[in-house]
Structure formats: C-alpha cells, structure tokens
C-alpha cells in the first residue's frame, strides 16, 4: 500500500497496466456464430425425426449415406461441439480459481470435444462412404 502511494508512476500509467485482457471478443463472437446454425439444423432434424429414431440400422445407414443428412449431421457436430467447447471453457474460467486446475481443465475440455468431434465425423464419413 505504501509503495503504491509513493509511486512515481502516474495514475493513467498504472491504469493502463491493469486494463482488460484485450482478448475475449473473438471467443464471444465464435460462441454465437457457432450457435446460429443450430436453429435451422434443429428444424431440419425435426423433419427427419423418423430416420433419427429408427430401430432399423440398415434404414439409418441408408439415410446417413444421402448427402444432405450426412452434411447436416457433420455440420451439427462441428458447430455444436465447437460451441460446447467454448461454453464449457467459459464455465471453467468462471468457477475454477486455482490456476493449475484451471489450465488442466481447459486442456481436458479441448481434448474432450476434439476427440469426440473427430471420432463422430469419422463415423459419419465411414458410414457415408460405405465402410460398414
């Protein structure tokens, strides 16, 4: 406290060092941009509900081999999982104060969505291109 009151630095100079993280707008807009396709995709999936809930694997595979369903499912995975990773990141930053656990959680979160995302896309492509 005494150190600060006797500082030769001006108030403006000190405030400049404290300022914002200069980062976050990108995170904010990516979160929203990835969310927008969810609206049309949800409506599309509602029209395809019989295909999505079928018990018949052959029928499901046949549906997923069509270009539009395959692209829609891949788009859903990309947008939803990316949006999810950003959202969970926000939760971690808000609720994990310990720097070490915070960084570990952030890495685990990225790996979780990257791993599941790539695996899901692989599964869709493998089905689409007839690797069944």
Partner 1 sequence: MSKIDRPLSPHVEIYKWPFPAILSISHRATGAGLALGAILVTVWLFAALSGDDAFALVQRFRESIIGRLMLFGWLFAFVYHLLNGVRHMRWDAGYGFDLKSTYRSGWIMVCGTVIISVLTWIIVR
**Element holding 36 (H helix, E strand):** none
- Considering the rule CB under 8 A, would residue 46 count as an interface residue with partner 1? yes
- Considering the rule CB under 8 A, would residue 82 count as an interface residue with partner 1? no
Question: Which of 69, 72, 81, 105 touches partner 1 by CB under 8 A?
Answer: 81
* Contact assessment for residue 43 and residue 49, using Cβ atoms and an 8 Å cutoff: no
89-108 residues near partner 1, rule: CB under 8 A: 91
CA 109/CA 89 separation, integer angstroms: 7
- Considering the rule CB under 8 A, would residue 113 count as an interface residue with partner 1? yes
- Considering the rule CB under 8 A, would residue 72 count as an interface residue with partner 1? no
The least distance separating partner 1 from the CB of residue 18, rounded to whole angstroms, comes to 23
- Considering the rule CB under 8 A, would residue 84 count as an interface residue with partner 1? yes
The least distance separating partner 1 from the CB of residue 14, rounded to whole angstroms, comes to 27
The least distance separating partner 1 from the CB of residue 27, rounded to whole angstroms, comes to 14
Q: Where are the alpha helices (DSSP H) in the chain?
A: 2-5, 11-18, 25-35, 38-47, 49-52, 57-64, 67-95, 99-128
The least distance separating partner 1 from the CB of residue 11, rounded to whole angstroms, comes to 28
Tell me which residue of 105, 100, 37 sits closest to 71, measured CA to CA.
37
* Contact assessment for residue 59 and residue 117, using Cβ atoms and an 8 Å cutoff: no
């Amino acid at each position: 406290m005494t150190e600060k009151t006797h500082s030769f630095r001006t108030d403006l100079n000190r405030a400049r060092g404290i300022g914002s993280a200069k980062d976050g707008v990108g995170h904010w807009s990516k979160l929203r941009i990835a969310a927008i396709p969810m609206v049309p995709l949800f409506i599309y999936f509602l029209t395809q509900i019989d295909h999505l809930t079928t018990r018949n694997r052959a029928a499901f595979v046949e549906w997923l081999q069509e270009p539009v369903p395959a692209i829609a499912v891949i788009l859903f995975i990309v947008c939803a999982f990316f949006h999810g990773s950003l959202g969970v990141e926000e939760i971690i930053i808000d609720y994990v104060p310990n720097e070490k656990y915070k960084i570990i959680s952030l890495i685990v979160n990225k790996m979780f969505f990257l791993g599941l995302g790539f695996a899901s896309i692989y599964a869709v492509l493998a089905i689409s291109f007839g690797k069944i």
